[in-house]
């Protein structure tokens, strides 16, 4: 039974914004709402999370505070992603996509833009901070790809600019090897499909436009992703190390950063950037 407040806190701190139903899904629906709300109450009273409500829509989410990031990450300097009212829908959608990705057994690590330095982002894509970066194991190779969640229909200059950025990133051989665009509406979906279809076939093969927010139907021929399992795999958190960006398991037991120690001792880690 997943009932620990620290597990819930880790989830919210990592994704930054989560709804109750998302947390239940992340726990494979093994925890009911009553224990969850008791945990939320304790975490709010202790200053680890806050309740964020949308002013015009009937939904709310929970957001991690700097105090939560200091506990989970071992430092208080992690920048909280912008989750103002107008961005809440997008933040929640990104959490859905991240949870969906975590159910694939060969997704090795996930990262958000605020978890990477400008230098690391520069190695990944040209002048673009993606919503999510995923690392995938394909046989003996490990690759990274980008997930962009689009909630509203932007002007043509924005759409073409986004696609230009990734096309140039592919051509320059940067870390980003593929792109998934999650379109929340049918008109957004059609716009991106049309724009991608006008580009070279080599670019088209690296881009997937989907309306599946939970990412349950990724193309296995492009990304090597099998059908998602029922086991929740969101057990990775970023820490700082001398050799680059690392991701370590949350479930090995020690939280926080002991005095004089540079890396959180929570288990084995995987380097994304060397």
From first to last of its 274 residues, the chain has per-residue pLDDT tens of: 344 687 888 888 888 899 999 988 888 777 788 888 888 999 999 999 999 988 777 789 999 888 888 887 775 455 555 444 458 888 899 999 998 888 887 888 888 877 777 888 888 998 888 999 988 887 788 888 999 999 888 899 999 999 999 999 999 999 999 999 999 999 999 999 999 999 999 999 899 999 988 787 777 766 677 667 655 554 444 333 333 333 333 333 222 233 333 332 222 222 222 2
Contacts of 123 (CB under 8 A, 6+ apart): 174, 175, 273
pLDDT tens for 217-226 read 777 766 677 6
Domain count of the fold of the chain: 3
Q: Which two tokens stand for residue 270?
A: 């995987």
Inter-CA distances, 145 with 65, 155, 194, Å: 28, 24, 21
Rg (CA), the chain: 18
Is residue 202, in this structure, part of any structural domain at all?
yes
With helix as H, strand as E and coil as C, how does 31-79 read? CCHHHHHHHHHHHHHCCCEEEEECCCCCCEEEEECHHHHHHHHCCCCCC
Q: CB–CB of 37/44 below 8 Å?
A: no
Tokens 């989907």 belong to residue: 210
Q: Are residues 189 and 125 in the same domain?
A: yes
Is residue 198, in this structure, part of any structural domain at all?
yes
Is residue 113, in this structure, part of any structural domain at all?
yes
Is residue 90, in this structure, part of any structural domain at all?
no
Q: Are residues 76 and 182 in the same domain?
A: no
pLDDT tens for 93-111 read 999 999 888 888 788 888 8
Q: Which two tokens stand for residue 65?
A: 């505070």
Q: Which of 14, 48, 80 is the last residue of a domain?
A: 80
Q: 249: domain range?
A: 236-271
Is residue 228, in this structure, part of any structural domain at all?
no
Q: Are residues 103 and 172 in the same domain?
A: yes
Contacts of 131 (CB under 8 A, 6+ apart): 94, 97, 112, 113, 146, 147, 148, 149
pLDDT tens for 4-30 read 687 888 888 888 899 999 988 888 777
Q: Which two tokens stand for residue 33?
A: 């709402």
Q: Are residues 175 and 212 in the same domain?
A: yes
Q: Which of 47, 80, 113 is the last residue of a domain?
A: 80
């Amino acid at each position: 039974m997943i009932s620990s407040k620290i597990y819930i806190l880790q989830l919210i701190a990592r994704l930054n914004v989560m709804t109750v139903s998302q947390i239940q899904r992340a726990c494979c629906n093994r925890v009911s709402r009553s224990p969850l709300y008791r945990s939320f109450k304790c975490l709010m009273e202790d200053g680890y999370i806050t309740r964020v409500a949308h002013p015009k829509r009937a939904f709310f989410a929970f957001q991690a505070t700097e105090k939560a990031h200091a506990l989970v990450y071992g430092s208080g300097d992690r920048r909280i992603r912008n989750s103002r009212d107008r961005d809440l829908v997008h933040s929640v959608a990104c959490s859905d996509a991240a949870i969906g990705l975590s159910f694939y057994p060969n997704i090795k690590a996930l990262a958000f833009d605020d978890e990477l330095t400008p230098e690391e982002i520069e190695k990944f894509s040209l002048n673009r901070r993606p919503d999510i970066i995923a690392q995938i194991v394909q046989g003996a190779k490990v690759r990274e790809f980008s997930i962009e969640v689009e909630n509203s229909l932007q002007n043509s200059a924005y759409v073409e600019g986004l696609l230009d950025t990734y096309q140039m990133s592919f051509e320059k051989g940067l870390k980003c090897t593929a792109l998934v665009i999650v379109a929340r509406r049918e008109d957004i979906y059609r716009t991106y499909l049309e724009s991608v279809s006008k580009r070279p076939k080599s670019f088209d093969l690296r881009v997937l436009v989907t309306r599946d927010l939970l990412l349950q139907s990724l193309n296995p021929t492009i990304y090597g992703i099998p059908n998602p399992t029922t086991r929740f795999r969101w057990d990775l958190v970023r820490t700082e190390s001398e050799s680059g960006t690392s991701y370590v398991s949350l479930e090995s037991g020690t939280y926080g950063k002991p005095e004089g120690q540079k890396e959180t001792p929570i288990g084995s880690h995987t380097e994304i950037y060397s």
